[in-house]
């Protein structure tokens, strides 16, 4: 797994916060909120890289995640300023227990200002190029071990990572062809919300 992903995923697990979204600006004259077309970044870094303007917890509609079987009411937000890059993360759980097969999935969606080429350089040994709704990306099978699948999509500021862990119902790993099962449909349903 790439260096930034290890730190970013650790931050999702350890530094969960409940920040309010910053996509709406208050209008003084009316007192009503108006939605801007580009989110003001919650956090920035000092790298000179583009600001991360897509926040997975606030810019992916909850009904999309609910339709995919994830409990959007229990999503967890994490801020990850890294100095030389930034990731905004959101963690979801899907507990669709199948006895003897799986206990469900854990999904982290990370939006960061590293490039697709940098991601390929880190995980090229497990990556293959993909296109999702005319958007360039990568599919990484097992980037940090068994039962893991990651889709990476290119954006105007960098990348969005969809990192899913398959929770098996045994000590043995799931069959490798199951690690990414259903990810094509999930990622395609979210792609339309990503900035180009």
At 140, give phi and psi (nearest 5°).
Answer: -115, 120
Q: Residue 20 — pLDDT band, cuts 50, 70, 90? A: very low
Spatial CB neighbours of 180, under 8 Å, sequence gap ≥ 6: 139, 141, 149, 151, 164
Region 48-59 average pLDDT: 92
Spatial separation of the C-alpha atoms in residues 9 and 92, rounded to whole Å: 13
Residue 196 lies in a domain: no
End-to-end CA distance of the chain: 25
Higher pLDDT, 44 or 90: 90
- Domain coverage including residue 103: 3-191
Spatial separation of the C-alpha atoms in residues 172 and 184, rounded to whole Å: 25
Is the pLDDT at 1 greater than 60? The verdict is no
Q: What percent of the chain has pLDDT over 70?
A: 78
Geometric angle at alpha carbon 45, from 43 and 49, rounded to 5°: 115
Spatial separation of the C-alpha atoms in residues 109 and 130, rounded to whole Å: 18
Geometric angle at alpha carbon 27, from 22 and 29, rounded to 5°: 165
pLDDT score at 136: 98
Residue 180 lies in a domain: yes
Q: In total, how many domains does the chain have?
A: 1
120 touches 96 (CB < 8 A): no
Residue 175 lies in a domain: yes
Per-residue pLDDT tens over the stretch 110-165: 999 999 999 999 999 999 999 999 999 999 999 888 999 999 999 999 999 999 99
Residue 89 lies in a domain: yes
Specify the DSSP class assigned to residue 173. P
């Amino acid at each position: 797994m790439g260096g930034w992903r290890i730190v970013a995923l650790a931050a999702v697990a350890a530094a969960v916060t409940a920040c309010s979204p910053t996509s709406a600006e208050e209008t003084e004259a009316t007192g009503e909120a108006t939605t801007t077309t580009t989110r003001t970044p919650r956090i920035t870094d000092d790298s000179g890289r583009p600001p991360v303007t897509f926040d997975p917890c606030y810019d992916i509609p909850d009904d999309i995640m609910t339709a995919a079987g994830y409990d959007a009411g229990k999503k967890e937000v994490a801020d990850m300023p890294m100095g030389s890059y930034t990731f905004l993360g959101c963690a979801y759980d899907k507990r669709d227990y199948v006895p003897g097969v799986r206990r469900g999935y854990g999904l982290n969606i990370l939006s960061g200002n590293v490039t697709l080429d940098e991601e390929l350089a880190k995980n090229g040994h497990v990556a293959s190029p993909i296109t999702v709704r005319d958007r360039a990306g990568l599919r990484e099978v097992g980037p940090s071990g068994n039962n893991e699948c990651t889709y990476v999509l290119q954006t105007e500021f960098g990348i969005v990572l969809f990192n899913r862990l398959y929770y098996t119902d045994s000590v043995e790993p799931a069959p490798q062809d199951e690690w990414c099962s259903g990810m094509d449909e999930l990622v395609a349903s979210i792609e339309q919300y990503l900035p180009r």
